[in-house]
A and B are shown apart, each in its own frame.
Chain A
Amino acid sequence: MVNMQQEVRTLTINVGPQHPSTHGPMDVIVTIEGETIINADIRLGYIHRGIEKLCETRYYFQIPAYLSRLCYVSGMFWEYGFVRAVEEIMGVKVPERAQWLRVISCELTRIASHLIWLAAYAADLGLLTGLSWGLRDRDRIIDALEMLTGQRMMFTYMVFGGVRYDMPAGFQDTVEKSLKYVESHLPDWEKLTIENPIFRARTENLVPVSASYAIELGWTGPMLRACGVKRDLRRDEPYDVYETLDFEIPTGKRGDTLDRVYVRIEEIKQSIKIVRQAIKRIPSGPYQHRALLYPPPGIGYGYVEDSRGECGYFVVSDGTPRPYRVKIRSPAYVHVMSLPKLIKGIKLADLYAVLGSFDPCLGEIDR
């Protein structure tokens, strides 16, 4: 009898696997009492494709094509992380022009990824205008990337020892035009989101996370920087030519949802700055180093500062043309799995505001 009364008071809702706000097939099982969440659980794996296992059955040079499918809005980072891990085993020295091209392509992808996140997040809060604006701005960036790589989404641009194609003629102008286009709309974005009174009312002081707790949860990337921790692999453990570039690391103050929006908008600005410098300073020379088809026996770890956090690849090679083991470290997985700890006691409508701010990309979470 007591149990029955308990059941009447609470309601269990499956937010997902098909829901407009989960950004992919993912199931958040929430128990609500009225509108207040009293319990939450996450069920993942709806698009598990076994990519880690698949990598063990493919030749090394085939693998990056699979890995850019891990996250279809920031595929460049995911193939890059693997290429870095394999290059570490090979001990290849990447030509300087290739390093600059990698920086340009990665930063352009970061802008595109943050823009599509802004678009999706605005739509989560009922601001459908943002959805359209994000796609509009991202399209210009994707145009530039298409010119460089020949693809709009699944780039497969990184190869062992360099990049697949050199910069085409007129690429600088296209990039500059795209960046100008995005930059001209950033004030509008700020007005629409972080300066909008209703947007602030929805996100300000929502689920604030302290710096120490964020580190405890294993957060990385913009999520950690929003909590006030100045951690960025591009600066702390620099790879490629990031040491020589001039850029800032934006951090938030309160670690709330509004700060996560603020940090990502600032990161778009910093990435624009980086691409501008790289386009000017790129040296001439070879863009590809003749590398082995597959690495000698050994282990390698490749890390990249992804648009979501620290993406990591642990690759074990046994000297055969196929890897022995590939382990992927997905930042979005870590972020999403900390959700149930944070959302108890908030309102149901805020679940979407919080979950959206984590930038969940189900492709890399489920792998």
Chain B
Amino acid sequence: MVIEFLKSSPLLLELVRAFIAILLALVFVLVNAIIFIYLERKVWARVMQRMGPTYVGKWGILQLIADLIKVLGKEIIVPAKANKFAFLSLPIFSTGLALALMIVVPFDYIVAYTLAALEPIYHGFVIFKYTVVSNSFSSGLFLIFALLTLNPVFILLIGWISNNKYTVVGGFRAAAQLLSFEIPLLISLASVIILAGTFNLYEIVEKQSKIWFVFLLPLAFILFLITAIAEAERTPFDIPDAESEIIAGWNTEYSATPFMMLIFGMYVRAIISAALISILFFGGWHGPELPGFLKPITGPFWLSVKIYFFMFLLILIRSAYPRYRIDQLLSISWTKLLPLSLINIILVIFVKYLSISYGII
């Protein structure tokens, strides 16, 4: 009866779908952020020939929950000279921005895909078949650009408002790094948009049903990988929060829950980097169909495999390299990545012409 009612009012149905899409994306991010942090601690520990967390739970899997409870119980210290309202509200914006990025990524499609396969069992699932993100976010990549561009503003503000020399230096480093890496990032993404002819991430994935874009745009993939690591502020580009240089950079003054939120936001950005790489270049949920009863989860399975592969890659890169200096980083961005991404834009025109004439996209 509820389903009948929903079907009778399209606006309400759309609202329910939007709500469910946001909820699914958030659940996915929260679960994966925790898994990612655990994975990083374990894998990095193995590279270092340590054990990593072992005591809380089997193989230390409950360690992060213990850490979470510990951090929530800490005192929130606000520096005497800082503006209290701004100091405490900025982490919410910064983390919210990172989470907002996640909603654009069409995770709800893969859930809808799974639910649609279960339709013979329960007819009610059909209303979730076409979900909000894949249907309505025709400007999905535009939104990602916009949200990424907002990020340095908040980081600079956080560094400034903390009223500490290290945070100011970290904030300026972050602003310089993120602003200069956004340009090659956007231009390398532009080549994907030209090739796919759409801003919608769902349609971009569907275009890759025959061939993954990584084979058509290898240069764009490499550029995007480098810039995405820089955007996520991870080693070798973790210059804004270089712990051995400027303590913790722009988040030096934060403690307890706000600190946890900032760190969480950084991990969410790393996951988004991994998710965007797998969606834009590695065919998203496309992959060989799983046998038997596993068939409904083919999409989610392949997407997760790809995302975790890139997470793993990010962890290994972090464990093997020291960090660049800020001026080296800027010169890499302006003298190497930017010209290469412009060359890539020219290349993609020929690639698109050829691939349309061979009928592979």
Whether both chains belong to one complex is answered with yes
Q: Using a CB–CB distance below 8 Å, which chain A residues touch chain B?
A: 11-13, 19-21, 32, 35, 122-129, 131-133, 136, 192, 196, 198-199, 201-202, 347-350, 352
Contact B165–A11 (Cβ < 8 Å): yes
The contact sample of 13 A-B pairs, CB cut-off 8 A, is A13-B169, A35-B169, A35-B327, A124-B244, A125-B244, A126-B235, A127-B321, A131-B48, A132-B50, A202-B322, A347-B327, A349-B325, A350-B325
Query: In whole Å, how far is A172's beta carbon from the nearest beta carbon of chain B?
Result: 26
Is B290 positioned at the interface, with any CB of A under 8 Å from its CB? Answer: no
Residues of A contacting B247 with CB < 8 Å? 19-20
Say which residue of A129, A136, A199 sits within 8 Å of B319 (CB atoms): A129
The 10 A-B pairs of least Cβ separation, nearest first, read A132-B48, A126-B323, A125-B322, A127-B322, A349-B325, A21-B244, A126-B322, A198-B321, A129-B319, A124-B244
Is there a chain A Cβ closer than 8 Å to B242's Cβ?
yes
CA–CA, A202 and B44, complex, Å = 23
| Nearest B residue to A125, CB-CB | B322
C-alpha gap A6/B206 in the complex (Å):
58
- Roughly how many angstroms separate A202 CA and B328 CA in the complex, as a whole number? 9
- Contacts A198-B236, A349-B239, A350-B325 given; indicate if A192 touches B320 (C-beta within 8 A): yes
Complex interface bits, B167-182 against A, C-beta within 8 A gives 1, otherwise 0: 0110001000000000
Chain B positions within 8 Å of A12 at CB level? 165
Question: What is the minimal beta-carbon distance from B207 to any residue of chain A, in angstroms?
Answer: 35
Closest to A201 in B: B328
Contacting residues, chain A, for B238 (C-beta < 8 A): 126
Which residues in B have their C-beta under 8 angstroms from that of A199?
321-322
The interface size of chain B toward A, counting residues with CB under 8 Å, comes to 30
Docked pose: A198 CA to B238 CA in angstroms:
13
Q: Confirm or deny: B92 has a beta carbon within 8 angstroms of a beta carbon on chain A.
A: no
Pick from B169, B236, B320: contact of A348, CB below 8 A.
Answer: B169
User: Chain B nearest CB: distance from A188 CB in Å?
Assistant: 10
Rounded to whole Å, the gap between the CB of B197 and the closest CB of chain A is: 38
Contact A136 B235 (CB under 8 A): no
Q: When the two chains form their complex, are residues A196 and B244 in contact, meaning their CB atoms are under 8 A apart?
A: no
Q: In the complex, which residue of chain B has the Cβ closest to the Cβ of A123?
A: B244
Give 13 new A-B contacts, CB below 8 A, not counting A20-B244, A129-B44, A196-B321: A11-B168, A13-B169, A21-B244, A35-B326, A35-B327, A123-B244, A124-B244, A126-B235, A133-B48, A201-B325, A201-B328, A349-B242, A349-B325
Could you tell me the distance in whole angstroms from the C-beta of A6 to the nearest C-beta in chain B?
17
In the bound complex, residues from chain B placing their C-beta under 8 Å from that of A350 are 325
Q: Which residues of B contact A (CB under 8 A)?
A: 44, 47-50, 165-166, 168-169, 173, 235-236, 238-239, 242-247, 319-328
Known: A127-B321, A198-B236, A198-B324. A21 touches B245 (CB 8 A): yes
Query: Measured between alpha carbons, how far is A133 from B319 in the docked complex, in Å?
Result: 12
CA distance A136 to B246 in the complex (A): 27
A349 vs B239: C-alpha distance in the bound complex, in angstroms? 9
Report which of A129, A136, A348 forms a contact with B245, defined as CB distance below 8 A. A348
- CA–CA, A11 and B169, complex, Å: 9
Quote the shortest CB–CB distance from B2 to chain A (angstroms): 53
Q: Looking across the interface, which residue of chain A has its beta carbon closest to that of B332?
A: A201
CA distance A136 to B46 in the complex (A): 13
B325 touches A202 (CB 8 A): yes
Cβ contact within 8 Å between B325 and A133: no
Known contacts A13-B165, A136-B49: A202-B324 contact under CB 8 Å: yes
A253 smallest CB distance to B (angstroms): 22
Query: Which residues of the partner chain B approach A201 to less than 8 Å between Cβ atoms?
Result: 324-325, 328
Separation of A11 and B166 alpha carbons in the complex (Å):
10
- Complex CA distance for A202 and B239, rounded to whole angstroms: 13
Question: Chain A: which residue is nearest B238 at the CB level?
Answer: A126
A13 to B238: give the CA distance in the assembly, Å.
20
Q: When the two chains form the complex, which single residue of A20, A122, A136, A198 contacts B243, counting CB atoms closer than 8 Å?
A: A20
A85–B81 Cα distance when bound, in Å, is: 55
C-alpha spacing A347/B325, complex, angstroms:
8
* Minimum distance in angstroms from B145 CB to a CB of chain A: 28
A7 to B161, CA, bound (A): 19
Across the interface, which residues of B come within 8 angstroms of A126, CB to CB?
235-236, 238, 242-244, 322-323
Q: Is there contact, CB below 8 Å, between B169 and A198?
A: no
CA distance A162 to B50 in the complex (A): 39
Minimum CB distance partner of A35 in chain B: B326
Task: Give the chain A neighbours of B321 by CB distance below 8 A.
Answer: 127, 196, 198-199
**Shortest distance from the beta carbon of B337 to any chain A beta carbon, whole Å:** 15
A84 to B327 Cα, complex, angstroms: 49
